[in-house]
Amino acid sequence: MKIEFREALISDAELLIEIYNSAFYKDFVRYGECPAYGRSLEEMQRSILEFPKFVILCDDEPVGCISCKAVESGVYEIGCLCVRPEFQGKGIGTAAVAFAKSHYVDWKKFTLITPVDKEENVRFYTEKCGFKIAATEMDGSVKVVRFVLER
């Protein structure tokens, strides 16, 4: 299995909508809301410009996305890390975090949020990627946990 990353272009907006909708459908059903699900073409195009994204390819097939935005010098917020459900559990997400750590060479800290009750996400970020839980907060009506990974 060959995992690669390529910078997302505006022309990838429809592809990214498909990936996001596939990856976040269960969250939308579970919580009744999910900011990454159901984006319009214009919203995704704007998001590509504001939050640099990388398409995750598995054996040349687009299967996911990781996006990071610089918050301040050396501090990056992972706004989205998603993998189509049928490709989860194969090390792709772990490879995406490793990619971000190597791509953003000046990183001192990565942060991200995920719903507190998504135990598989909490385990993934803490056990596989080395993040620590920094706090819990509300994102709309969903309680989320904020993770931090520091060098």
Distance CA 133, CA 110 (A): 12
Q: Evaluate if pTM is beyond 0.85.
A: yes
pLDDT digits (tens, 9 = 90+) for 60-79: 999 999 999 999 999 999 99
Distance CA 20, CA 92 (A): 15
In this prediction, residue 26 carries a pLDDT of: 93
pLDDT digits (tens, 9 = 90+) for 95-141: 999 999 999 999 999 999 999 999 999 999 999 999 999 999 998 88
Rounded to an integer, the average pLDDT of 44-69 is: 96
**Alpha carbons within 13 A on the beta-carbon side of 121:** 19
